[in-house]
Structure 1
Amino acid sequence: MDQKTPIQLQELPVPAACTAECRRQKHSRKGRAFKALGFSTLLLWLGTRYFRFPSPMTFRESPSQWPFPPDVTVDHCAEYSDPVETEGGDYPLYSADASLELPASADTLFLISRSHHHGGRVFSTGNVNYLQSDEVTNTVKVDITAYFWREEHLQASKACLLKRDDDQTGVGIFTKWEGKRRRENERLRLDVTVTFPRTEDNSALAINNFSSDLEIFTQTVADLSNIDFKTLSLKAALSAIRAESLVARNATIRTSLGPIMIQSLIGETASIVTNLGAIEGTFNSSKSLTLSTSNGPINVEVNLFNNDEDDAAKLKLLTSNGRIEGRINLESTKKSGSAFNITARTSHGPIDLDVVAAPLESNITLGATTSLGSLSAKLPTTFEGEFHASTSLSSLQVKVDENAEDPAGKGRKRHVDHRTVGKASSHGYVSWSEEGKTRGSVVVRSSLGPVSLEF
């Protein structure tokens, strides 16, 4: 083998002296590199801080562990049936079934979902349907159907019977996906049906407490008017909640992203909350009802019942960016001595309230405010009390029917005191008796929109 002569230091090419133009180009390249690095760092920070993008600099728990909550004990997990091919479009789609049963007499029944996905991308979504069957049993059935394109997708899910202390039992749906999604079809869809039984004499089925705490699962409730929930809590992270008919002494229905639409809800207290979405439906309450959304309209019909003048039934209609439309009926079985407190508030949107009926000699407190939008409020002739209406930069109109018939049928004449201050403020009272002048209170205000108040 030929002996190679080592290269001597003096034989290496000597770099040419860097000219002014050379230094300028180097500086420009460094500047672009630092700008790119800074911009990338800013995007990364914004994503992890505000949009919850996964950060590659965050150390994560190993996805080999199933995301079981620490406060539950896994009794057992259901076995899925053999996969069956179904219609899947461009890709072969398969399905498999699993079932679990819960004792209807348990103190608390619950349904939860938890997921652990490598890379933070959405792998599993689903839908939960609640219904009541004609079957007379003492169990609540939970049926799960999984739809998937590859068997490993099914293996990344579990449906388990869970236990908590104090006679709490439920079903947990868990997914654990360690791979990367390269195509849209590489995901798992779970359809869940929760079936409540009938009673032998077809009387209302008593359920102590039922709660759901789900991630990306829409929830759809059929007619459950023949079930009496002591406490009902439906919670979703990023999906809509829709219901046909519900009866619950205390109800909480909440989602972070999506509308809440309920055809009929009957309960003593209820809290209906969404961060981004509309609230629609008919709500019946005898103590407290709160309908709140940060970004969305509220369009509801409300029946509020009260018999205690010392403990008013309360209604709150709250949104930051959206319209409020409410048709409100106030009821009582007493001839006098009921109380109601109504609040409606939005920052950017109009308000339209119509109190269609109220008991005689009831104490009604109504406050409605909007910053950017019109405001219209109408109260029945049974209302008695003070009123104040104002706007800053628009028109104001107060209408009082002084010739209205006495709602008590006693032939009394309506007392009206109506005073206007400038063009944007009006106050006074309406009543059928001397003591009625200060019985109730109405305050309506818009900053930049027209205001209309009618009695």
Structure 2
Amino acid sequence: MDVKTPLQSENLPAPVSHAVDCAGHKKKSKKHRIFKTIVLSTLIWVGVRHFGRARSAFNLADPVSWPIPDNVSVDHCAEWSTSVASDVVDDFPYAADASFELPVSAETLFLISRSARHRAFAAGHVNYVQSEDVSDTVKVDITARFWLDEYLDASKVCLLKRGEDESGVGIFTKWDRGRHSKEHEKLRFEVTVTFPQTSEDSPLAIKKLSTDLEIFTQIFGDVSNINFNSLFVKGSLGGVYAETLSTENAKIRTSLGAIKIQSLIAEDADVSTSMGPIEGTYNSSNVLVLHTSNGAINVDVNLFNEGEDPAKLRMHTSNGFIQGKINLESSKGPDASFDLAARTSNSRIALDVLASPLDATLALRATTSIGSVSVKLPTTYEGSFDATTSLAGLSVTFDEKAEDPAGEGRKRSIEFEGVRRNRAKGRVGWSEEGLARGTVSVRSSMAPVSLEF
């Protein structure tokens, strides 16, 4: 028979109350769960923050994500100078610099900017100047102003090549913080493009200057001693300002900004903006187009006719007035011809043709819907006229005492073909031949119309 040996008390752990053991276990389990939750939440938060920073760093280092256009190749990207405290712009406490040189002889000199995602992150202005130094290079100096180094790290400035003989500089930025951008989360660029002097007593010849910049104001200083064979200036959110620009062909475009040029001299010029005025003096020997959507056009125009076709002026806006003082010139004598057109929808038109060659052919149209139209013509104008309005007054003024511009003592005549309250048609001239020479049409729907000879 087996004998069972009783367990000795000294071999056992001290007895504890079962009830107390269960309560203690519950308290410890609850505290443990809370602790685990806090630790897990902290780890997740730290991980997300770390991942966000790591992702940002990855994006900044990833060359594929830089918004460099496919049609350019990168020669090299400059290293920013060591950032230093800025004593120029108080809004941005730090600044860094980079510089490039471009050959004057290039077929095209170009300057571009591109931003990935957050376009408002980077903006600035570009100054175009000419130095007193003789050189065969154009210098491009760039200063970036910023608050934190990570903002500077989100930018690149590079020397670019395009086509066979096109040399330029690109400003590239990428910043992806979505809606959580901070007040000082931005870069501001100051760019100076310095053209050299020539060793001869003649203007510097630049074959083509092309710019395509996003949120940059472009300012042409005293570059009157530079002749651009072709000039293409483009901006998105920034105006274009210039003292004197001389070029064969000009195309100047911006979306949200004014275009103000003290003197533009071009054979052909196409100037347009969407949300800004066009102002200044414009000289053209072929075709001049001035177009804006929500701004005024207030210009002086000198139009020269030397070619076979008429010299043309086109002015168009939708929600702004058009005011122009126009000189028409030509050495072609009776073969000179001009074609002028001004159109707006919700504002007035005031055109004053100050001078026109003797025996020249002039076609002029001025049309608006809700504004008044006032057209003044010189005594050299000869041809038909048609002035119309729907819901307002009409005025045709004729200077009977005007002297013969040919100095032959002729008397100018005016013939009305039909006069009603809202419309006046007729012809004016110094001879029978002159009565059939030009055409003037002036129209408004809901405002007064005046025509003065």
Q: Deviation per CA, 1:132-176: give whole Å up to 9, x if none.
A: 111100001000001011111111111101001121110001112
Q: 1:92 to 1:330 in 2, by over 3 A?
A: closer
Question: Which of 314, 317, 320 does residue 316 from structure 1 map onto?
Answer: 314
8 Å CA contact 2:383–2:428 kept in 1: the answer is yes
The match for 2:339 is 341
Shift of the alpha carbon at 1:273? 0.3
Q: Superposed, which structure 2 residues align to 1:7-18 within 5 Å?
A: none
Shift of the alpha carbon at 1:128? 0.5
The match for 1:18 is none
**Residue type of the partner of 1:441?**
T
Q: 1:380 to 1:111 in 2, by over 3 A?
A: same
In the alignment, is residue 173 of structure 1 matched against residue 171 of structure 2?
A: yes
The match for 1:71 is 71
TM-score, structure 1 normalization: 0.84
In the alignment, is residue 261 of structure 1 matched against residue 228 of structure 2?
A: no
Q: Superposed, which structure 2 residues align to 1:84-123 within 5 Å?
A: 84-87=84-87, 93-117=93-117, 120=118, 122-123=120-121
Q: 1:171 to 1:410 in 2, by over 3 A?
A: same
**5+ residue gaps, structure 1:** 5-61
TM-score, structure 2 normalization: 0.84
In the alignment, is residue 197 of structure 1 matched against residue 196 of structure 2?
A: yes
The match for 2:12 is none
8 Å CA contact 1:402–1:416 kept in 2: the answer is no
Q: 1:369 to 1:160 in 2, by over 3 A?
A: same
Shift of the alpha carbon at 1:419? 3.9
Shift of the alpha carbon at 1:121? 6.1
SS state of the match for residue 317, structure 2? strand
8 Å CA contact 2:203–2:225 kept in 1: the answer is yes
SS state of the match for residue 302, structure 1? strand
8 Å CA contact 1:130–1:222 kept in 2: the answer is yes
Shift of the alpha carbon at 1:202? 3.6
SS state of the match for residue 274, structure 2? strand
The match for 1:56 is none
8 Å CA contact 2:239–2:254 kept in 1: the answer is yes
The match for 1:247 is 246
**Residue type of the partner of 1:287?**
N
8 Å CA contact 2:203–2:227 kept in 1: the answer is yes
Question: Which of 127, 141, 155 does residue 139 from structure 2 map onto?
Answer: 141
**Residue type of the partner of 1:250?**
N
State the identity %. 57
Q: Hey, which of these two has a bigger chunk of helix by percent?
A: 2
8 Å CA contact 1:307–1:337 kept in 2: the answer is no
8 Å CA contact 1:205–1:226 kept in 2: the answer is yes
In the alignment, is residue 307 of structure 1 matched against residue 306 of structure 2?
A: yes
The match for 1:290 is 289
**5+ residue gaps, structure 2:** 1-17, 23-58
SS state of the match for residue 434, structure 2? helix
SS state of the match for residue 122, structure 1? helix
Q: Distance in 2 between matches of 1:67 and 1:121?
A: 11
175-184 or 217-226: bigger deviation: 175-184
8 Å CA contact 2:92–2:145 kept in 1: the answer is no
The match for 1:330 is 328
Question: Over aligned residue pairs, what C-alpha RMSD do you find?
Answer: 1.9
**Residue type of the partner of 2:66?**
W
The match for 2:360 is 362
**Residue type of the partner of 1:157?**
S
The match for 1:39 is none
SS state of the match for residue 100, structure 2? strand
Q: Distance in 1 between matches of 2:86 and 2:145?
A: 9
Shift of the alpha carbon at 1:278? 0.5
Question: Which of 395, 413, 416 does residue 415 from structure 1 map onto?
Answer: 413
Q: Distance in 2 between matches of 1:294 and 1:86?
A: 39
SS state of the match for residue 110, structure 2? strand
Q: 1:227 to 1:89 in 2, by over 3 A?
A: closer
The match for 1:52 is none
